[in-house]
Amino acid sequence: MTAAVTGELAGDVSLQGHYAGAVTRAVAFGVDQTVATAVYALATALVAWLVDMVVSPEVTINPQVGLAAGVFVLWLFVYYSYPWSVSGKTLGMALLGIRVVQRDGSPTTPRNGVIRTLVLPLTFLTFGIGFLPIVFGRERRAMHDSAANTAVVYDWDARAARLRFLARQGSVGRRGGPGVSS
């Protein structure tokens, strides 16, 4: 992994393989929390509506806050651990172009995803101290990354995207479109 991170030329546009920074990771986490909470809220509203349709109006159901919280925690566990185990990225991470990989750069395993998900709440419970290595550490690995032997890296290649853009601009110019000077 270190060769991909330190071996880039100074003028290279590519960020693929570089350790992801604190802001990118925080925004991706915010997106994920928003999506996970919205999906859970919609699912519980749908279940409540279906139960209301089936159960007679005379029957009252007292919602169990503890049960709802337990289901929400289980949902968050699945929301994070499954994508980290299978593809290395959640929806928020995919939108921001970052991915979880093993420390050596290989794809994550289910073991990495589960350990990372289980230790993530402990990173918060240390009053944020578990996040300090993201800002100050060379490899930008939080406490849950260290426990799961993972790292978060940029997944997109800015140089390849730029070349595709330039190729597209060149083909537009040859067809008589924008960019053709007379």
pLDDT band at 52 (very low <50, low <70, confident <90, very high): confident
| The pLDDT of residue 36 | 97
pLDDT band at 10 (very low <50, low <70, confident <90, very high): very low
Please tell me whether residue 98 adopts helix, strand or coil conformation.
strand
Structure-model confidence comparison of residues 116 and 155, the more confident one: 116
> pLDDT digits over 169-180, tens only?
766 555 554 544
How far is the CA of 156 from the CAs of 28, 50, 52, 167, in angstroms?
15, 42, 46, 18
Is residue 8's pLDDT more than 90?
Answer: no
Give the pLDDT mean for 47-59. Answer: 81
* Nearest alpha-carbon partner for 154 in 25, 10, 2: 25
| Residue 14 vs residues 76, 111, 154: alpha-carbon distances, Å | 33, 30, 9
Distance CA 175, CA 47 (A): 55
pLDDT at 9 over 60: no
Express each pLDDT in 69-121 by its tens digit: 999 999 999 999 999 999 999 999 999 999 999 998 899 999 999 999 999 99
Quickly state the pLDDT bin for 18 (edges 50, 70, 90). Answer: confident
* Cα dihedral value 134, 4, 104, 107, nearest 10: 90
Asked if residues 113 and 76 have their Cβ atoms less than 8 Å apart, the reply is: no
- pLDDT for position 182: 42
